[in-house]
Amino acid sequence: MDLLGELDFVKVTSVICEGRKVVFANDLLEALLEANAGKRGEKELQTARVFLKHG
């Protein structure tokens, strides 16, 4: 959530509590937490090129 607060183009307006939307929100939050860990050097992330090549 801290990372979202740093992005000036993101505005969180409500909490999502419907089936598929909850799964998506949780996946997004997990991805942001991983990106933040990568930014701090705590986790090595794959490059976009590798991700797009292998999925």
Q: How far, in Å, CA of 10 to CA of 3, rounded?
A: 10
Q: What is the pLDDT of residue 20?
A: 81
Q: What's the whole-model pTM score?
A: 0.56
For 19-43, the pLDDT digits (tens) are 787 788 888 888 888 988 998 999 9
The total number of structural domains that make up the chain: 1
Enclosing domain of residue 38: 2-54
Q: What is the pLDDT of residue 41?
A: 92
